[in-house]
């Protein structure tokens, strides 16, 4: 199928052409006709599937016609759990709407100054992209009116549910016209999401695209067993010195650990910096701009801060600490293998991480093969059955690296094969979610700190 078959406005097609997209991805192929026909939809699709364009193109198609209702409030509202995602959506709106006359996109995000937002909201808005908490503040202060609202998009609804934003989302929805078209995107469409959908959507069409497994196809996952913090630090140093590694994101369990590790890596001569929610906006922007422009080789980040980062140069993701939740593992490793490239995801696991590993492998449906670096072999040998998969003998053997390219094809029901050149590189991302203090992010603990190491990043000579 080509974009021409989707009956989108010619000026939107022009922008798609400028972006270099040759054919719609499966989510776009399914969602766009349903949305143009006016249906509500609930879709399971993750970042990387082209879901942003799947809702933004029909949204812009609506905006090509003037509103039948007078006023200056938004005609399209997109709610996202994080600031990164909100900015990504705003950029997509600007990119796909660039040939349409007068499409005004406004982002209302937590952690940004109120006076500027008040000013932005005092002028006509077409597309409003917001994180729920801050939007509620503005609604309560009477700064937004939704009489013109035609479409409401809940992006990463599962994440909003996890982070405790769903009540806010429902409050916001109740301030909008019942005639609106409602779209819900979520990694899973399970019971909890179904209940939210039942309250907010009208006879939605369900769209299911790539499975977790399909999504991770272009990422080679490796496991390194580690004995202690010193072993971890030596392995990390070794991995970061690999010349095939262009850029990496290293994940730590806590913000403090991200700072400490970034400082230590810098001291060792790596171009490294931290990214987490305790940093001020300017510093976060500066760090992400540097990453995008290749001025930074290693970003040490926490889960929430790094969510949504879409930088094509990231060849490696390293889980210095395993994530507490299996779902976060998928979000983390999805920072590599972007834009049709292949990527490598390395996880460090200690004797204490067996259960977490098992959960991750069950969630992804994929086994993570263990690797050893000659000279940095672990003393600790996993017991059979510990960790995910069969454990035992096969775990100890280094496996061969299979770098796979993205293998989407239309007949497989997955996204179309897209050459590197057709994917845009280095899209601007900045900011991070001010809700980093959400309970999930806070509960993460550093196994090694608890295991009694006095300085988690001490590196022996
Ligand atoms: P998303 O899943 O919305 O985060 O999109 C992932 C990436 O796919 C973004 O960099 C988009 O610019 C890109 N993209 C979206 N739709 C297409 C398409 N039809 N062909 C090629 N790239 C696309």
pLDDT in tens, 163-190: 889 999 999 999 999 999 999 999 878 7
R_g of the chain computed on alpha carbons: 22
Ligand 1 neighbours, Cβ below 6 Å, are 21, 24-25, 28, 47-53, 310, 339, 418, 422-424, 427
Strand-pair category, 247-251 with 298-301 = parallel
- Quote helix, strand, coil % in the chain, to nearest 5: 40, 15, 45
pTM (two decimals) = 0.57
Q: What is the pLDDT of residues 389-434, one digit of tens each?
A: 333 333 333 333 333 332 222 223 323 222 222 222 222 222 223 3
Minimal-distance CA residue to ligand 1 atom 11 = 50
Minimal-distance CA residue to ligand 1 atom 17 = 50
221: three-class secondary structure by DSSP: strand
Domain range summary for the chain, segments of one domain joined by +: 3-208
**Residue 292 alpha carbon to ligand 1 centre in Å:** 17
User: Buried b / exposed e across 320-343, counting CB within 10 Å, b at 16+?
Assistant: bbbbbbbbbbbbbbbbbbbbbbbb
DSSP 46-91: -TTSSHHHHHHHHHHHHHTSPPSS-SSS-SEEEE-SSHHHHHHHHH
Q: For residue 386, name the pLDDT band (cuts at 50, 70, 90).
A: very low
Atom of ligand 1 nearest to the CA of 418: 21
Q: Give one word for 26, left, alpha or beta, with left for phi > 0 and alpha for psi -120 to 50.
A: alpha
Minimal-distance CA residue to ligand 1 atom 14 = 50
Q: What is the pLDDT of residues 87-97, one digit of tens each?
A: 999 999 999 99
Atom of ligand 1 nearest to the CA of 19: 12
- Predicted pLDDT at 235: 96
d(CA 357, CA 457) in angstroms, rounded, equals 23
**Residue 50 alpha carbon to ligand 1 centre in Å:** 4
d(CA 344, CA 318) in angstroms, rounded, equals 8
Minimal-distance CA residue to ligand 1 atom 13 = 50
Query: Which ranges constitute the DSSP H helices of 205-273?
Result: 212-215, 229-240, 255-267
- Which residue from 25, 28, 410 has its CB within 8 A of the most atoms of ligand 1, so it is best to mutate? 25
Atom of ligand 1 nearest to the CA of 48: 2
Phi and psi at residue 201, to the nearest 5°: -110, 155
The CATH classification of domain 3-208, taken from the options 3.40.50.300, 3.20.20.140, 1.10.3080.10, 3.40.50.720: 3.40.50.300
Which two structure tokens, joined as six digits, stand for 439?
């309970």
**Residue 27 alpha carbon to ligand 1 centre in Å:** 10
């Amino acid at each position: 199928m080509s974009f021409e078959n989707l009956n989108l406005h010619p000026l939107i097609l022009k922008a798609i052409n400028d972006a270099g997209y040759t054919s719609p991805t499966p989510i776009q192929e399914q969602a766009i006709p349903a949305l143009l026909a006016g249906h509500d939809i609930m879709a399971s699709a993750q970042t990387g599937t082209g879901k942003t364009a799947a809702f933004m193109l029909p949204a812009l198609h609506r905006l090509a016609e003037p509103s039948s209702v007078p006023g200056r409030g938004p005609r399209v509202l997109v709610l996202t759990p994080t600031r990164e995602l909100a900015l990504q959506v705003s950029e997509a709106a600007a990119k796909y709407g660039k040939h349409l006359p007068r499409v005004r996109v406004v982002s209302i995000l937590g952690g940004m100054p109120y006076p500027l937002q008040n000013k932005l909201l005092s002028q006509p808005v077409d597309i409003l992209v917001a994180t729920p908490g801050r939007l509620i503040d503005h609604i309560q202060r009477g700064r937004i009116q939704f009489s013109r609202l035609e479409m409401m998009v809940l992006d990463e609804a599962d994440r909003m549910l996890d982070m405790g934003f769903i009540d806010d989302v429902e409050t916001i929805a109740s301030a909008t016209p019942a005639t609106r078209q409602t779209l819900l995107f979520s990694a899973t469409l399970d019971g909890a999401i179904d209940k939210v959908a039942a309250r907010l959507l009208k006879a939605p069409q369900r769209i299911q695209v790539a499975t977790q497994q399909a999504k991770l196809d272009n990422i080679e996952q490796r496991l390194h067993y580690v004995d202690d913090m010193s072993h971890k630090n030596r392995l990390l140093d070794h991995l970061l010195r690999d010349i095939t590694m262009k850029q990496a994101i290293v994940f730590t369990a806590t913000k403090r650990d991200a700072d400490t590790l970034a400082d230590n890596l810098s001291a060792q001569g790596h171009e490294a910096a931290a990214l987490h929610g305790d940093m001020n906006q300017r510093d976060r922007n500066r760090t992400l701009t540097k990453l995008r422009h290749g001025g930074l080789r290693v970003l040490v980040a926490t889960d929430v801060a790094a969510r949504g980062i879409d930088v094509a140069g990231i060849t490696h993701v390293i889980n210095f600490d395993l994530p507490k939740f299996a779902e976060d593992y998928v979000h983390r490793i999805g920072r590599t293998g972007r834009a049709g490239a292949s990527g490598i995801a390395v996880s460090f696991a200690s004797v204490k991480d067996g259960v977490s590993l098992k959960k991750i492998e069950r969630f992804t449906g994929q086994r993570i093969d263990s690797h050893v670096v000659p000279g940095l072999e672990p003393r600790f040998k996993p017991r059979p059955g510990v960790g995910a998969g069969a454990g035992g003998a096969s775990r100890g053997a280094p496996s061969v690296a299979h770098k796979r390219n993205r293998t989407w094809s239309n007949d497989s029901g997955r996204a179309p094969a897209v050459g590197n050149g057709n994917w845009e590189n280095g899209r601007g991302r900045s900011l991070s979610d001010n809700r980093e203090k959400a309970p999930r992010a806070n509960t993460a603990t550093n196994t090694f700190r608890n295991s009694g190491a006095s300085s988690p990043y001490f590196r022996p000579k």
